[in-house]
Amino acid sequence: MAGIAGPCSSGVLFRAREAGGNINGASMAQFDGLRQVESMHMPVNGNKSNGFAFTSAPKCRTIKAMASPTVSAPKREKDPKKRTVITGMGLVSVFGSDIDTFYNKLLEGESGITLIDRFDASNFSVRFAGQIRDFSSKGYIDGKNDRRLDDCWRYGIVAGKKALEDANLGPQVLETMDRTRIGVIVGTGMGGLTAFSAGVESLIQKGYKKISPFFIPYSITNMGSALLAIDTGLMGPNYSISTACATANYCFYAAANHIRRGEADIMVVGGTEAAVMPTGVGGFIACRALSQRNDEPHRASRPWDKDRDGFVMGEGAGVLVMESLESALNRGAPIIAEYLGGAVTCDAHHMTDPRSDGLGVSSCITKSLEDAGVSHEEVNYVNAHATSTLAGDLAEFSAIKKVFKDTSEIKINGTKSMIGHGLGAAGGLEAIATIKAINTGWLHPTINQDNLEPAVTIDTVPNVKKQHEVNVAISNSFGFGGHNSVVVFAPFSP
């Protein structure tokens, strides 16, 4: 999730109004989401104020970046036990649950952003999202469980099982395999938000005795990985990562390391999210993070466009089957692409704002290339985080320019311009879009590019798809809290 305030905010105040507008001490700017709206004062004499504050310094702290040891020529992994390939993909999206349909819609530049009709949003200041409709779990989840499950888990289970099918790892095949060597890491940023909201509502309206016994199990964030493993009997490494909108990439990075260390042969990995519901939409409205273009929902998500005014909520799930090359070759699996490496870092700056110097992001990109054994010159495609926020889009672009000195051969695009921001699922869906670009030789457009920021000087594939042979691709995902993640994919070459 990109920053939603100025490039170097001074903090977010809680209960500021209750605390009063004039507090003795140093001045501090308060941000109303995307814009500075007033100045606040923070006490400097040790006295406690009436409100609580989470703050960072008014200016970005200078952090010395230690140079990584230089290598004359990056070397990619050669050991088939450690090389990690992609052998299956599965998703649930605003464009349905078929991979080819999903990518064809993206290539066509079709927007999946519409007015919300899942609940009455007429009194909300934001009334649109990338809402999934006509979702069916038939054949993947039995009817009884389907009725109980939060959509977050329904999406994740279906995407996970579809990825296994795509990898030729259906139930009958799995029965013949050592399932202690197959793990699951499916993360989520928000968890079972509908289940949680329903539990709280029952408590308030009817008392604790009316809370469903499924309230806790279907709310906690680890349940996506757990339920998929329970359904498929996969007994390898299993947990959930929750790093806001960087979640899925963190999962890919962790899963590949399990394979590299010899702890698993196969990992089912990705992210899932279902936050298009009153609590989710209302919460992000309160953050003042969302676009309010209610009259033109399909034109609301516009990364790098000067008229952008916030991100658009989305939902879904994106899951990959990651496998050691040795395992894939031994079982004759289809190899779709290769995961070369990745990295995760932290801005250590602010809860929602990106660092103005871009150090967290640029160092993450650099570390991912080092992990992948890839030179800067080899990269020619970036699937950007590109959420359509004022600060986040330019901070990411600046970091990309900082790392890649010559960008003449690089193209970048923003998947969120069409499907919205899938939060914890975003990296999973965008990894699939990245791999499809590698496989097809076509990059989907970034739509709603009507008035491009002058500072954005790399080809953003504006409004119309472009043919482009991908050599090495990176996919970026960043989250509230300053979580940065970058993963590196390439065509598979024996």
Active site residues: 245, 385, 421
Reduced to 3 states (helix: H, G, I; strand: E, B; else coil), residue 335 is coil
428 SS3 class? helix
Burial 392-409 (b: 16+ CB within 10 A, else e): bbbbbbbbbbbbbeebee
The two structure tokens encoding residue 443: 């990059």
Beta strand pairing status for 337-346 and 483-490?
antiparallel
Q: Is 319 strand, coil or helix?
A: strand
- Contact between 269 and 255 under an 8 Å Cβ cutoff? The reply is yes
Integer-rounded Cα radius of gyration of the chain:
22
Amino acid letter, residue 486: V
Round to whole Å and give the CA distance between 307 and 291: 10
Q: Evaluate the CA torsion angle 404, 409, 415, 418 in order and state its sign.
A: positive
Coil, strand or helix at 21:
coil
The amino acid occupying position 342 is G
SS3 assignment, position 251 = helix
Q: Cβ contacts of residue 472 below 8 Å, gap of 6+?
A: 340, 372, 374, 378, 379, 380, 381, 488, 489, 490
- The H or E element that residue 114 is part of is strand 114-115
Which alpha helices (DSSP H) does 321-475 contain, by range?
325-330, 359-372, 390-403, 416-419, 426-440
- DSSP letters for 462-484: BSS-EE---SEEEEEEEETTTEE
State the DSSP code for 411.
E
- Tell me the C-alpha distance between 60 and 357, whole Å: 8
Q: For 434, phi and psi rounded to 5 degrees?
A: -65, -45
CA distance 115 to 164: 33
For residue 17, count CB atoms less than 10 angstroms from its CB and return exposed for 0-12, middle for 13-18, buried for 19 or more.
exposed
What residues pair up with 165 in beta bridges, in sequence order? none
Q: Which helix (H) or strand (E) holds 297?
A: none
As a whole number of Å, the end-to-end CA separation of the chain is: 36
**What's the token pair of residue 29?**
């700017």
